[in-house]
Amino acid sequence: MKCPFCDFDGSKVIDSRPVEDNSMIRRRRECERCKKRFTTYERIENIPLIVVKKGGQREPYDRNKIFNGLLKACEKRPVPVEVIQNVVNRLERELYQIEDKEVSSVLIGERVMDALKDIDQVAYVRFASVYRQFKDVESFMEELNKLMSE
């Protein structure tokens, strides 16, 4: 494993432990040259998942897109990064359990919004405003009213 600090190719594992219901292994490593420590995560490689966009184009699933979207929605909100990571991990697990290896971006967006609704309502509204592409104030207010009635 290449050291993120000095780019040396040698490191040794200091500690290993399972995380997230044993679906991943967290390894604490130490660079053999600079002696700095860093963490790596090892997970099972899944069959590639294809996301079908609203316009019909297909692209490989990228967990970073979901993570970055959630980070942006939760910006300046009291939502810890661990909570966001847990949402992404849970969603990813659900997506890989679907038998079809092509998943609609609409399904992903709706599941992200469902998760945000329970975490932070301001972040939910931020995400929904970008995801649903509100055309005017009325459509934005409709979404807010639905949220308030729940």
Question: Residue 29 is encoded by which pair of tokens?
Answer: 């490593």
d(CA 123, CA 113): 9
Q: Per residue in 15-39, pLDDT tens? A: 999 987 787 899 999 999 999 999 9
Is the Cβ–Cβ distance between 127 and 113 less than 8 Å?
yes
For the entire predicted model, the pTM comes to 0.62
* Domain positions in the chain: 11-43, 50-149
The radius of gyration of the chain's CA atoms, rounded to the nearest angstrom, is 19
> What is the distance between the alpha carbons of residues 70 and 114, in angstroms, rounded to a whole number?
12
Alpha-carbon distance 130 to 68, whole Å? Answer: 13
Q: What is the pLDDT of residues 51-110, one digit of tens each?
A: 999 889 999 999 999 999 999 999 999 999 999 999 999 998 888 888 788 999 989 988
Identify the three-state secondary structure at position 106.
helix
